Structure 1
Amino acid sequence: MKKIILTTFILLVLMSVVVTGAMAQQQGGTLVFGRGGDSVGLDPIQVTDGESFKVTQQIYDTLVDYTPGTTEVEPALATDWEVSDDGLTWTFHLREGVQFHDGTPFNAEAVKFNFDRWRLEDNPYHIGGEFTYYSYMFQGFPGIIQEVNVVDDYTIEFVLSEKQAPFLNNLAMVPFGIASPTAVKKYGEDYFKHPVGTGAYVLDEWRQGDRVILKANENYWRERAYLDEIVFRSIPDNSARFMELQSGTIDMMDGVSPEDVESVNSNDQLQLSLRPSMNVGYFAMNFNFEPFDNVKVRKAFNYAIDKQAIIDAFYAGLAEPAKNPMPPSIWGYNDDIEAYDYNPEKAKELLTEAGYEDGFEFDLWYLPVPRPYIPQGKFIAQAIQSYLSDIGVTANLVTYDWSTYLDKTEHQEAPTYMLGWTGDNGDPDNFLYVLLDKTNSNNAYVSEELHDILVEAQKTMDHEKRVELYNQAQEIIHEDAPWVPLVHSTPPIALKSNVKNYIPNPTGTEKLHRVWLEN
């Protein structure tokens, strides 16, 4: 009898703890997120930058989503789905009773409108941007999505021209948030300033260059967001942003400077969260500019830069040197590849063999805003400049505002540039095809052999075969040396201690509707 009473008592205590924990999730309040730059636009299909995705992920939902903290796919606007035996027809069953922020209904016609807008270049609403991510992930326009058919009000069918192994993972990516057809038609080319989705937050105001203010969606199809309001403030300088966090004028920030990590850990009013590493920071050389069309010059640069020293100086140890264009956290990573070690003498030998024993001068473009993979663009560029000076090469540092920088590098205007990539879906395709296939490369890198391998890997449903193909692809890239892969970082995020239930996602952005503030 005593044993039964004791067991009952323990169960009651445990139930009390669970209930108390649930009640602790408090509604209300404003979260101020300090970030390094403004959004380029708020139509997710038109942009490629993380600063835009931080905001659009709160405004829009996708057909499927990633489980918090992972790249595992779970239902979202679609409740379930099936694929035909030949892998070419995907059928999605949609959630009923969902409304866009403007009160119009979400249904299969809305999904078809969005995909037709993205994939068809002659669609009247294929305007306002280059729809880069659609082209990246689905092989151009219309790409592999040949038909989008409305089966009934809440069933949509996609017919592919060829199998695509990462198709479902691709649909969960932030760029493919479903927009209100009514709003797209109303605003046209200005839609990027007037976003309307089905997400947990609604745009209240965008003061460009300063802040984006979001309000909770009172009619959200999930449980209402805990926070009443989220403010994304643009504070380009890392140190200034950290000072604001310490003073309490912002509640969280990314782009934490290495020298501030210990200060966060030693401050009981703050907490440090580490984003799972799924990125690469790199220095790219444009094949359209001499002498970067010479593989010996590109390899010389790979030998000239001390990656570990850069990590020690600018990453507080929260990074590892990169030897491949995709991180070791992604399946299919080729660890057998031998890294270009730091060897200035070898670099000089290669320059001499290439006919540049007296060196040369060029422009090195560096990031104007902190990014998770390159937190201090100018300082890291200065370090690279110094290493190249040691082998007799003069690098002139150049930068532009963030949106201009992205536009110019995308259009291959930079002779060399620093950039990076945070994986969107946990698949090697999202690094190798998106960044280095001949159809996507920003630095005019063209390899027919690589292209054939990457396209075959997309069509192959056999996992082991895909691993083999991606291993081959990394060998080709290593030999051609279109980049100097610099680092794979583990980005730190600093938060006030009263910010609860923040779960960083390896994709670089996450929904914040389950974050709450403790009073």
Structure 2
Amino acid sequence: MNLLSLQAVLTAALLSVAAGISAKPLVVCTEASPEGFDIVQYTAATTADASSETLFNRLVDFKPGTTDIQPGLAERWDISPDGLTYTFHLRPGVKFQTTDYFKPSREFNADDVLWSFERQFDPKHPWHDKTSVGFPYFEAMGFKDLLKRIDKVDDMTVSFTLTRPESPFLRDMAMGFASIYSAEYGDQLLKAGKTADINSKPIGTGPFILTRYNKDAQVRYKANPDYYKGKPPSDVLVFAITTDSNVRLQKLKADECQIALYPKPDDIESIQADPNLRVDEMEALMTSYVAMNTTHQYLGDVRVRQAINMAFDKQAYIKALFGAGKATPGINPYPPTLLGFNSAIKDLPYDPAKARSLIKAAGVPDGQVLTLFVRNGGGPTNPNPLLGAQMLQADLAKVGIKLDIRVLEWGELLKRAKRGEHDMVFAGWAGDNGDPDNFLGPNLSCDATISGENYARWCNKAFNEAITEARARTDPAERAALYEQAQQVFHDEQPWISLAHPKLFTAVSKNVEGYHISPLTNNNFATTRAK
């Protein structure tokens, strides 16, 4: 073999090795299965990570690791002087994903924007009734009343006309429910009578293409070679669904995954001590709570809800589940870092004797049984669900209420809670856009009782009017005052046990680069790779 031939063989071998290295999957240990991939039907963060962050894009983006907005599929936008019309100028050259079930014949344009929003907005749209759960974010945030019309100005320009000014509108447009779908693919599925495929065979413009999903086991993606921001550095992305946080950590240490989401707070110090691992952390926009179904007997009485709050030793709960310095006690329905947090409101005291007196005055029989739904596994807002449920059970038993704890798989819990089958349910919320409205509208508005996202089934006129008016104001001080009013109503009515505002932690192998932890708790791996 001559020198040139030998050099060619060696070069080919090196290239083969390099290709093998670059093809190493980025494996992320996640805490639950996605509910599906048609993100407009869902609100769970695990579903958003698996769909809107991975498969889709929006007109507006959040800058990585922040709540600041930047252009996305829209290069720029104009706002009319009266604040009622937003005109988006679309980015040219963006391609939809090509798969074995769909090959786009054109690039992204205004028709796709109209399809994506009119599907949710217009009852006459052929896709409007093609979901059994409706469009929970769109509905709970009042978009059906906010939008007056959506117009195609030309192939690369779309305008949204609102019925009123809406301060968080651009931030809302960066949320998962505003993801842009392919109108061409939608037409193909409708014509073939396969509309359900949009939830299992998604098509977007995002950084990754779905290749396989095994429920409760694995979601597998490949890099989108046509991604408009450039092909992601990881050729293969795998979500290894691992409900137990202890097992997630074990897999991370064994390099079976390179990122482990939501480690237990009491494991943080040991992870930081491992020379092969690191912990990314931040003060995130999160709240954990127990919703009390106010449409059910006894829980419709504010005295009972106050009693349940006063019977629960919240400080002991926070210490047991989060440890020192890893969560702040919950009082209001959103964290103190957001606009209009009402710091004048003080939490109800831990007072079992007063709680028992209130329960007796409300006519609740001694030993009354209430059902409590709690998820299996654990996540950032509830790292040890069963322990928390047992602590609440023990405290309420002291005041004459028995809890029947029902441990449910995450997707099953969401489905049954939205139907209102629970008396009480452990829940949590991660902010989607850095605005207080995102905590109050989707979780506590009257519209959200219709969609089922309001697990307390609590519809209060004064509260609803305050948050609706706050959305329409542009002056931050005026908005803050209205949110303070709304929180006072919430405090007086106590539809939740507000538990905690936890810190966000992610355990990461030190060979990972390009990962950005987000205060919105979403996980986007378009720039992430394992070296």
Same fold, judged at TM 0.5 (above): yes
Show the counterpart of 1:456.
Answer: 469
Aligned-residue offset at 1:508: 1.3
Contact 1:277-1:329 within 8 A present in 2 as well: no
461-470 or 299-308, larger mean C-alpha shift: 299-308
1:80 aligns with 2:82: no
**SS of residue matched to 1:86:** coil
Residue 435 of structure 2: aligned partner: 427
The equivalent of 2:261 in structure 1 is 254
One-letter identity of the residue aligned with 2:140: Y
Secondary structure class of the residue paired with 1:58: coil
SS of alignment partner, residue 54 of structure 2 = helix
Which region of structure 1 is more displaced relative to structure 2, 434-443 or 209-218?
A: 434-443
2-structure distance, mates of 1:94, 1:324: 39
C-alpha separation in 2, matches of 1:52 and 1:144 = 26
Aligned residue type for 1:332 = G
Partner of residue 136, structure 2: 132
The 1:357–1:203 alpha-carbon spacing in structure 2 relative to 1, beyond 3 Å, is closer
Which of 467, 477, 483 lines up with 2:490 in the alignment? 477
**Alpha-carbon distance between aligned partners in 2 of 1:68 and 1:278, rounded to the nearest angstrom:** 15
Aligned to 1:23: none
1:399 offset after TM fit, Å? 2.9
Does the alignment pair 1:96 with 2:92?
yes
Partner residue in 2 for 1:240: 247
Q: Distance in 1 between matches of 2:348 and 2:23?
A: 52
Render the CA deviation track for 1:81-133: whole Å, top value 9, x for unaligned: 01111111110001001011033410111111111111122311121241111
For residue 165 of structure 1, give the secondary structure of its aligned residue in structure 2: coil
Q: For 1:152-211, what per-residue CA distance to the aligned partner results, in whole angstroms no more than 9, with x for missing partners? A: 111101111122111100000122211112223324122110111111111111122211
Counterpart of 1:160 (choices 143, 159, 162) is 162
Alpha-carbon offset, residue 445 of structure 1:
0.8
Partner of 1:20: none
CA distance in 1, matches of 2:264, 2:63: 29
Give the conservation status (yes or no) of the 8 Å contact 1:279–1:488: yes
Larger mean Cα displacement after TM superposition, 284-293 or 89-98: 284-293
Question: 1:197 is matched with which residue?
Answer: 204
1:119 and 1:143 in contact (8 A); partners too = no
- Counterpart CA distance in 2 for 1:409 and 1:74 is 35
Distance between the aligned counterparts of 2:293 and 2:93, measured in 1?
A: 50
Match of 1:288 in 2: 295
Aligned residues: 491
Give the match for residue 216 of structure 1: 223
By how many angstroms is 1:500 displaced?
1.4
Separation of aligned partners in 2, 1:295 and 1:369: 32
Deviation at 1:345, TM superposition (A): 2.1
> Greater shift after overlay, 314-323 or 64-73?
314-323
Q: Which runs of 5+ in 2 are unaligned?
A: 1-20, 99-103, 449-453
2:57 maps to 1:61: yes
Partner amino acid, structure 2, of 1:261: I
SS in structure 1 at match of 2:304: helix
* 2:151 matches 1:149: yes
Q: Secondary structure at the match of 1:399?
A: strand
SS of the residue aligned with 1:350? helix
Letter in 1 for 2:136: T
Q: Tell me the distance in 2 between the aligned counterparts of 1:29 and 1:66.
A: 28
| Deviation at residue 403 of structure 1 after TM alignment | 1.8
C-alpha distance in 2 between matches for 1:357 and 1:194: 51
Distance 2:260 2:185 in 1: 32
Q: Which residue of 2 aligns with 1:358?
A: 366
Who is 1:8 aligned against?
A: none
Q: Distance in 2 between matches of 1:132 and 1:257?
A: 30
The one-letter code of the counterpart of 1:74 is Q
Amino acid at match of 2:349: D
- 1:249 shift after superposition: 0.8
Inter-partner Cα distance in structure 1 for 2:524 and 2:256: 22
Which amino acid letter does the alignment assign opposite residue 259 of structure 2? M
Task: Name segments (4+ residues, structure 1) moved above 6 Å.
Answer: none
Structure 1 residue 371, shift from structure 2 partner: 2.3
CA deviation after TM superposition for structure 1 residue 27, in Å: 5.9
Question: Which whole-Å CA distance do the structure 1 matches of 2:484 and 2:23 have between them?
Answer: 49
SS at match of 1:417: strand
Distance in 2, matches of 1:434 and 1:155, equals 29
2: CA distance between counterparts of 1:502 and 1:355?
Answer: 54
* 1:451-482 deviation line (CA, Å, top 9, x unaligned): 11111111111211000000000000000000
Does the 8 Å contact 1:27/1:516 carry over to 2? no
Q: Give me the whole-angstrom Cα distance separating, in 2, the residues matched to 1:443 and 1:316.
A: 28
Equivalences for 1:307-322 in 2 at 5 Å? 307-317=314-324, 318-322=326-330
Q: Which amino acid aligns with 1:443?
A: A
Which range moved further: 111-120 or 309-318? 309-318
Q: 2:174 corresponds to which residue?
A: 172
Name the residue aligned to 1:468.
Answer: 481
Corresponding residue for residue 10 of structure 2: none
Q: Structure 1 stretch 390-399 or stretch 461-470: which is displaced more?
A: 390-399
Asked if 2 retains the 8 angstrom alpha-carbon contact of 1:98 and 1:221, the reply is: yes
Report the counterpart of residue 409 of structure 2 in structure 1.
401
Tell me which residue corresponds to 1:108. Answer: 110
Structure 1 CA distance for aligned equivalents of residues 508 and 185 of structure 2: 35
1:335, CA displacement in angstroms?
0.8
Say whether residues 1:183 and 2:182 are aligned partners: no
RMSD of equivalent CA atoms: 1.5
Summarize the alignment of residues 372-383 of structure 1 with structure 2, pairs less than 5 Å apart: 372-383=380-391
- Matched ranges for 1:112-123 at <5 A: 112-123=114-125
- In structure 2, the residue corresponding to 1:143 is in which secondary structure? helix
Counterpart-to-counterpart distance in 1, 2:314 and 2:335: 15
Amino acid at match of 1:479: D
Q: Deviation per CA, 1:2-61, whole angstroms, max 9, x where unpaired?
A: xxxxxxxxxxxxxxxxxxxxxxxx965311111111110111111111111111111111
CA distance in 1, matches of 2:526, 2:440: 32
CA contact (8 A) 2:140 2:445 kept: no
CA 1:133–1:423: 2 relative to 1, 3 Å:
same
